[in-house]
Homo-oligomer: A and B are copies of this chain.
Amino acid sequence: METKEKVILDEDVIPKAWYNIQADMPELPDPPLNPQTKKPAKAEDFTPIFPMEIIRQEMSGDRWIAIPDEVREVYRLWRPTPLYRAKRLEERLKTPAKIYYKWEGVSPPGSHKPNTAVPQAYYNMKAGIERIATETGAGQWGSALSFGAMLFGMKATVYMVGASYDQKPYRRIMMETWNAEVYRSPSANTAYGRKVQAEDPKTTGSLGIAISEAVEDAATHDNVNYSIGSVLNHVVLHQTVIGLEAKLAFEQLDEYPDFICGNVGGGSNFSGATFPFVADKLSGKKPDLQIVACEPMSCPTLTKGLYLYDYGDTAGMAPILKMYTLGHTFIPPPIHAGGLRYHGDSPLLCKLVKDGYIGAVAYHQTEVFKAAKLFAETEGHIIAPESAHEVRAVIDEALRCKAEGREEVIFFNNSGHGHFDLGAYDAFLQGKLIDYEYPAELVKQALAKLPKIN
């Protein structure tokens, strides 16, 4: 009897509701604070940049939040995504473990990001919004939002970090093909961008600057809103479609994972894939489930950061969040996994790490790319540098299973393809990758600049 390579569920079982882990957490994180007043943020603090339905979801404690039919219709373009059995990787490792992965690289933008870009665009369209502004670093999020906005007849304006704009023209062209307007950030399109340009005409920008430009654009124009690709509760919520589909596929296989891992940038990919399983750990249904968050050694938020209140953005204009942080002014070394260079993480994820339900591990990029190369050699797919972080963890766990003779079921979410990251693979193949030490001194300086609330 042949073992199947993958499980692809029928479109009809695309989940009808997202899962909100807030309903099941023993203790909730401390609330976000208004950056001016330092008091708990209220719904009206967010109305200049978000539609009311997004704000409602951000603050909701309901366990299930219905997915609109119009959003499920768009999800059908690529969902359900396949759940693969990584047989060739298992054979190469000679491990008794079974390795499964969800493959989000089949979406048109090539990652998990449209799972939230599409509903965010939908709710903005329903609220009469005509244009959405956002920032993008590596380009995955900007691509996804351009795609989502286009499908609901809206414009997208993307502030793309200057360095990335220069190095990744294909990501820019992808967004433009989907009708987005892409600005090299800092741009002359906002007061903040012009100010930064004037102070430093040669700057190649940063994600913090790009966020500030996008927020300003949204806050200063009628019928224009802002959209964010990770960190906040509503983004995490939308991504649970990954974990919910994975659970259905595992039911069909009559399996349940023992070990789950995923990469963490802002935490939405990780949380979306794992929270439906974390629910079973919280409820005692699967108390011994191991869940591991994987991050880069040069931006090790969960493994080296402090659990404190900090600003969500560099300029200190965004809400203050209770989370693990390396300090909002910390700028990590230029690793290739551009999506993992955020100073903080989702408050929901951080609270679950803090309370001991989820573990964390950090890797150097050379060991990460070794894992990506082995994955490409065995499973074929050339994956994003971000996703390669969890593949490193999977390989290490599978080898531990081999050493200990354990027959474990391993699951990870393979969050996207690396078609626009081949420059990083080239550097790896040529032995030119740099493994940056953990920048302890820079973090110390950044942590000294936390808001006074702590």
Contact = CB atoms under 8 A, between A and B. Distances in A.
Nearest to A105: B106
Given A5-B11, A377-B179, A419 B170 contact: yes
B77 A170 contact: no
Interface residues of A, number: 39
Interface stretch (A231-239, A315-323, A422-430): A422-430
Contact of A174 (B170, B177, B422): B422
A115 to B, nearest CB: 14
Interface stretch (A188-196, A356-364, A379-387): A379-387
Interface string A44-78: 00000000000000000000000000000100111
A412 interface: no
A88 B379 CA distance: 32
Interface in A382-434: 382, 419-420, 422-423, 425-426, 429
Interface string A1-42: 010111010010000000000000000000000000000000
Given A169-B426, A377-B178, A5 B76 contact: yes
Contacts of A5: 11, 73, 76-77
A382 B425 contact: no
Contact of A426 (B8, B173, B178): B173
A218 to B, nearest CB: 24
B373 A177 contact: yes
Contacts of A181: none
B8 A150 contact: no
A422 B73 contact: no
Contacts of A106: 106
Copies in the complex: 2
Interface string A343-356: 00000000000000
A419 B419 CA distance: 7
B429 A150 contact: no
Contacts of A150: 377
A interface secondary structure, majority: helix
B419 A173 contact: no
A435 interface: no
Given A169-B422, A420-B419, A422-B169, A177 B382 contact: yes
A151 interface: yes
A289 B4 CA distance: 36
Given A11-B5, A106-B106, A173 B377 contact: no
Given A173-B422, A422-B170, A422-B173, A380 B77 contact: yes
Interface in A72-87: 73, 76-78
A8 to B, nearest CB: 5
A178 B429 CA distance: 11
Interface string A161-193: 000000001100110111100000000000000
Interface in A252-306: none
A376 interface: yes
A422 B172 CA distance: 9
Given A5-B76, A177-B425, 8 more contacts: A2-B73, A77-B380, A88-B151, A110-B419, A150-B377, A170-B422, A176-B429, A177-B376
Interface of A: 2, 4-6, 8, 11, 73, 76-78, 88, 106, 108, 110, 147, 150-151, 169-170, 173-174, 176-179, 373, 376-377, 379-382, 419-420, 422-423, 425-426, 429
26 contacts: A2-B73, A4-B11, A5-B11, A5-B73, A5-B76, A5-B77, A6-B11, A6-B76, A8-B8, A77-B379, A77-B380, A106-B106, A108-B381, A108-B382, A110-B419, A150-B377, A170-B423, A173-B422, A173-B423, A173-B426, A174-B422, A176-B425, A176-B429, A177-B376, A178-B377, A419-B419
